[in-house]
Amino acid sequence: MIVGNYLAAAALFLLGLFTVLSRRNLVKIVMGLSLMESSTYLLLISMAYRSGSTAPVLLSPPSGSTEQSLARGNVADPVLQNFCLTAIVIGVAVTAVFLSVVVRVAQHQRSTDSDQVRGMRG
Amino acid sequence: MTGRQESHDEHGRHRTWAAVALVAGMAVLLLLAVTDLPREAAPLPTVAREAMTSALPAWGSTEPVSVVVYGSRGFDTFGETFLLLAAVASVLLLTRRRERRAGFQGEEVAATRERSEQDPHPTSGRNEREARAAEREEEREDSDGPDASWSVPPRLPGLTVVVQGAARVLAPALAVAGLYLFAFGSSPGGGFPAGGVALGVLLLLYAAFGRHLVRQVTSAAGVEVVELAGAAVIVLIAVVGLVAEGSLTANWLPLTRPGGFRSGGILQPFSGAELVEVGTGLVLVTFALLDLRHDWADDTPEGPGREQ
Amino acid sequence: MSLFWLLDYVCLALLLACAFLVVVLRNLSGAVMALSATGGLLTFVFVLLGAPDDAHAEAVVGAVALPTLYLVALGKIRTDVEDAGDIGEVDAHPADPGSGS
Amino acid sequence: MRTVVAALLVLVGLWFSLSGAVGVLRMPDVYSRVQSGTKAITMGALPVLLASAVATGVTSYNTSRAVLIGLLIAITNPAASHALVRAAYRAGIPQWSGAVRDDGHRHEPDRSR
Amino acid sequence: MTGLMGTAALLELLVVGVLVVRLAAGPTVSDRIVALNAISTQITLSLVCLAIWADRSLYLDVGLWLGSFSYLGTLLWARFLERGLL
């Protein structure tokens, strides 16, 4: 059933890719990149899930289990969640870099249309 | 105008079809790749099992994700922090203001030296110094004052009193909760989200009260020092681990009872340094983008966006 | 289908709907808002799949950091781009006659 | 007994949430949409939070969080809507053509604050 | 009891579906902000129900953060709307 999540992540990635390829507005292109980042997060978290698992946090375990039993029990993969955490922070930083480039381009070229920007090259 | 628009639309349609074709190809690839991934019935990998079972005995922390982030994969987090630092540096570089290059660089220093050679005992120094100070002050106010740009609606200092009241209630609560998020690393949280909360508190104050309240806190010069200090703390933690325990990001602090503030050994200071790093990085990036002005005046000689 | 997967799929459907909005909305502010909604729904999926840490980070990023960055950029761009038809407050093609400004 | 109370509270909350959402969808202009977006949605939130407190017992960890979330929503939702409506009015978004009163202009001198 | 709360979470999410229509259609930015704010509130409520259903009180914290940040987001949007830039 988790394959539905994988497919949703793929669809999200494709939507982002379509935006990057087909839209002319530079801000829209950056949004497409944000969507692609989101799809990565979704894929990582979906891959971390195991059927019937709970969060890999030992504090206040669900009723009927202790910290020790939870550590050996059915939990989601903490390593993949950690990858996702790293990816989220890097995603924000990268978006900020993209957006400052876009703003500079808009100030310089008086347009955010990628065709016009390319046309004024050289 | 319309003709140009139409030709653009024509071009845009071609582009859409090309995009659809490429996306369809990518879709097939992704479909093949994604259906072949391990499903939810697969057993946990050994690494994950090891992280789960060693979190409590070896690190004294009830949060395996933090253990992985700051402990077992600490070196990766270290590298990722410096990636963040690089991103912040590039945003600052992109948004910096044009330097004043009207004159010859170092003119003032040379002039002072020359003057002191010619006249070693300046008598009218006081007046001149005051005048210069006043001039500098004026210059500073000029460049730092409210945005006198065109087409910008009149800027009010902040939003209404209702919003300000709610912000007064919420900002301290958010700040305390953000500190809780970092301090009790035994619950989910840690440096990354708490750094985001720091940005949130500053933005709340900025949105409700206006720029002047946060100008001191968000000046790039001060925040950069704090950010580099955070990076230095991370390096220090790693180096002490290398010297004392023989490996980077080894735990060299005593373990305490799990669930408390000091549980988890070096995880907490590492997390705090990450909080500083991420928080200052996001603040620097956001407010640098916010303070960005027009400064490529060359291509519009009499454009209204021209500075000075 | 159990309740868990029902929740998961409903949330994913909403997520994809919001992502689709990001792509098709001509109004850039609206697209940013759809992106923000995507972040919120992603937070829910994260909690559902047992990743509260990532949910914390995503909540902060989706609700505050990304919209702020995009809004700042849109505000900066608006004063520079002449044919800023789709940055404004109303859609470029006013669908509702009562809303033109 | 507890389950029945929680179920009733959840139903009440859901009813208000749904009517708020339908109001946001169907109302004719921004100013009326904000009405349902604030009042009905906030009113939909509080019973559900109460139900969550009832369902797990009043002394549990959930209750403190539920109270906190409830306070937060009760403070912030009206303030946010206030800011939003004011901004919308200033931005010149017109009222519904069927509106009979516009008291906003009386407060326009406030703009110079 | 637990099934009740899971169903409640599902229904709150379905309310989000109604609001997404307004997010898509809203002729002005303000309409969309109203919808976005309501969506955040609904997701928060859904998270509260989910936390009880999954029997992890940790999840409630996420709802708390989402609720407080939705206010901040709306405030930023209102500021943007009022003066055209942030």
In the structure encoding, which two tokens stand for residue D79, read together?
Answer: 């303030």
Distance in Å, alpha carbon of C91 to nearest chain D alpha carbon: 13
Q: Is residue C73 situated within a structural domain?
A: yes
Q: Which residues of A touch E58 (CB under 8 A)?
A: 55, 57, 59-60
- Residue-number span of the structural domain to which D43 is assigned: 2-92
Name the residue ranges covered by the structural domains of chain B: 2-37, 49-93+146-290
In the structure encoding, which two tokens stand for residue A69, read together?
Answer: 């039993």
In the structure encoding, which two tokens stand for residue B158, read together?
Answer: 């902040």
This model's pTM is above 0.90: no
**C96 vs D: CB within 8 A:** no
Confidence of residue B5 (pLDDT cuts 50, 70, 90): very low
User: Does pLDDT of B187 surpass 50?
Assistant: yes
Domain count, chain C: 1
Interface touch A55/E55, C-beta < 8 Å = no
Provide, for chain C, the percentages of residues in helix, strand and coil under a 3-state DSSP scheme, each rounded to the nearest 5: 70, 0, 25
More confident residue, B69 or B128: B69
Q: What is the mean pLDDT of residues E51-56?
A: 88
- Please report the number of interchain residue pairs, chain B to chain D, with beta-carbon separation below 8 angstroms: 22
Average pLDDT, chain C: 81
* pLDDT for residue D106: 54
* pLDDT for residue A107: 83
Q: Which of A12-16, D26-30, D50-54 has the highest mean pLDDT?
A: A12-16
* pLDDT for residue A67: 79
Average pLDDT, chain A: 87
Instruction: Kindly list the partner chains of chain C, i.e. chains with 3 or more CB atom pairs below 8 Å.
Output: A, B, D, E
Q: Which residues of D touch B176 (CB under 8 A)?
A: none
* Rounded-to-10 torsion of CA B240, B244, B249, B252: -100
By mean pLDDT, which of A4-18, B146-160, C27-41 is the weakest?
A: B146-160
In the structure encoding, which two tokens stand for residue B2, read together?
Answer: 């319309």
Residue D8 contacts by C-beta under 8 Å, 6 or more apart in sequence?
A: none
Confidence of residue C17 (pLDDT cuts 50, 70, 90): very high
Average pLDDT, chain E: 88
Q: What is the mean pLDDT of residues B222-233?
A: 88
Q: Is residue D106 situated within a structural domain?
A: no
E19 and D24 in contact (C-beta within 8 Å)?
A: yes
Interface touch C52/E58, C-beta < 8 Å = yes
Instruction: Kindly list the partner chains of chain B, i.e. chains with 3 or more CB atom pairs below 8 Å.
Output: A, C, D, E
Interface touch B286/C57, C-beta < 8 Å = no
Domains and CATH numbers, chain A: 2-49+76-120 (1.10.287.3510)
* pLDDT for residue A105: 86
Confidence of residue A25 (pLDDT cuts 50, 70, 90): confident
- In the chain, the amino acid numbered B99 is E
* pLDDT for residue B302: 44
Nearest to B192 among A85, A99, A101 (CB): A85
B251 and B266 in contact (C-beta within 8 Å)?
A: yes
Interface touch E58/B290, C-beta < 8 Å = no
Q: Is residue D102 situated within a structural domain?
A: no
Q: What is the mean pLDDT of residues A17-30?
A: 90
Confidence of residue D90 (pLDDT cuts 50, 70, 90): confident
Instruction: Give the residue from C42, C44, C96 with the most E CB atoms within 10 Å of its CB, the best one to mutate.
Output: C44
Give dist(CA E82, CA E86) in Å, integer: 9
Report how far apart, in Å, the C-alpha atoms of D18 and of each of C11, E12, E19, E40 are. Answer: 17, 8, 10, 14
In the structure encoding, which two tokens stand for residue B193, read together?
Answer: 């989200």
User: Does pLDDT of B150 surpass 70?
Assistant: no
More confident residue, B139 or A10: A10
The count of other CB atoms within 10 Å of the CB of residue B82 is 14
Sign of CA dihedral D10, D12, D17, D21: positive
Q: Which of residues 44-83 of E touch D (CB under 8 A)?
A: 44-45, 48-49, 51-52, 57, 60-61, 63-64, 67-68, 70-71, 74-75, 77-79, 81-82
- In the chain, the amino acid numbered B12 is G
Instruction: Kindly list the partner chains of chain E, i.e. chains with 3 or more CB atom pairs below 8 Å.
Output: A, B, C, D
B66 and B240 in contact (C-beta within 8 Å)?
A: no
Query: What are residue D96's DSSP bridge partners?
Result: none
Domain count, chain D: 1
* pLDDT for residue B112: 73
- The conformational region for residue B63 under phi > 0 = left, psi -120 to 50 = alpha, else beta, is beta
Residue with tokens 């990023």: C61
Interface touch D97/C98, C-beta < 8 Å = yes
What is the tens place of the pLDDT at every residue in E28-50? 888 999 999 999 999 999 999 99
Chain centroid, CA B25 distance in Å: 37
Instruction: Give the residue from A30, A39, A82, A107 with the most B CB atoms within 10 Å of its CB, the best one to mutate.
Output: A82
By mean pLDDT, which of B98-102, B195-199, E75-79 is the weakest?
A: B98-102
Confidence of residue A52 (pLDDT cuts 50, 70, 90): confident
* pLDDT for residue B156: 52
Confidence of residue B10 (pLDDT cuts 50, 70, 90): low
Share of chain B above pLDDT 90, in %: 11
ipTM of this complex prediction, to 2 decimal places? 0.87
* pLDDT for residue A18: 93
Give dist(CA A103, CA A109) in Å, integer: 10
C41 and C18 in contact (C-beta within 8 Å)?
A: yes
Instruction: Kindly list the partner chains of chain A, i.e. chains with 3 or more CB atom pairs below 8 Å.
Output: B, C, E
Confidence of residue A58 (pLDDT cuts 50, 70, 90): confident
* pLDDT for residue E12: 92
Residue B61 carries which DSSP code? -
Interface touch A106/C50, C-beta < 8 Å = no
Q: What is the mean pLDDT of residues B12-30?
A: 87
Interface touch D28/C98, C-beta < 8 Å = yes
Query: What are residue D110's DSSP bridge partners?
Result: none
Give dist(CA B180, CA D30) in Å, integer: 38
Q: Which residues of B touch E79 (CB under 8 A)?
A: 159, 207
- In the chain, the amino acid numbered B207 is A
Sign of CA dihedral D92, D93, D98, D102: negative
E12 and E39 in contact (C-beta within 8 Å)?
A: no
B18 and A21 in contact (C-beta within 8 Å)?
A: yes
Average pLDDT, chain B: 76
Distance in Å, alpha carbon of A47 to nearest chain B alpha carbon: 7
Nearest to A21 among B23, B64, B296 (CB): B23
Q: Which residues of A touch C37 (CB under 8 A)?
A: none
In the structure encoding, which two tokens stand for residue C59, read together?
Answer: 């909540």
Give dist(CA C24, CA E1) in Å, integer: 41
Residue B70 carries which DSSP code? I
Share of chain A above pLDDT 70, in %: 96
* pLDDT for residue D105: 64
Give dist(CA E20, CA C34) in Å, integer: 9
Nearest to B290 among E64, E78, E86 (CB): E86
Report how far apart, in Å, the C-alpha atoms of D52 and of each of B187, C85, D15, D68, E47 are. Answer: 21, 47, 16, 12, 11
In the structure encoding, which two tokens stand for residue A2, read together?
Answer: 């988790």
Share of chain B above pLDDT 70, in %: 74
* pLDDT for residue A96: 93
Instruction: Give the residue from B206, B211, B294 with the most E CB atoms within 10 Å of its CB, the best one to mutate.
Output: B206
Provide, for chain A, the percentages of residues in helix, strand and coil under a 3-state DSSP scheme, each rounded to the nearest 5: 70, 5, 25
A89 and B278 in contact (C-beta within 8 Å)?
A: yes
* pLDDT for residue B191: 83
Nearest to E18 among D22, D84, D93 (CB): D22
User: Residue A112: which of B135, D30, C28 has the closest Cα?
Assistant: C28
Name the residue ranges covered by the structural domains of chain E: 2-82
Interface touch B193/E61, C-beta < 8 Å = no
Residue A25 carries which DSSP code? B
User: Residue A3: which of B31, B2, B164, E86 has the closest Cα?
Assistant: B31
Residue B108 contacts by C-beta under 8 Å, 6 or more apart in sequence?
A: none
User: Residue B200: which of B225, B221, B226, B181 has the closest Cα?
Assistant: B181
Q: Please report the DSSP string for D4-73 in residue order.
A: HHHHHHHHHHHHHHHHHHHHHHH-SSHHHHHHIIIIIHHHHHHHHHHHHHHHH-TTSHHHHHHHHHHHHH
Distance in Å, alpha carbon of A61 to nearest chain C alpha carbon: 13
Residue with tokens 């004052």: B145
Nearest to B166 among D79, D86, D113 (CB): D79
| Side-chain half-sphere CA neighbours of B241 within 13 A | 23
* pLDDT for residue E49: 92
Q: What is the mean pLDDT of residues B36-45?
A: 86
Confidence of residue E56 (pLDDT cuts 50, 70, 90): confident
Q: Per this entry, what is the length of chain D?
A: 113
Q: Backbone phi, then psi, for A86, in 5-degree steps?
A: -60, -45
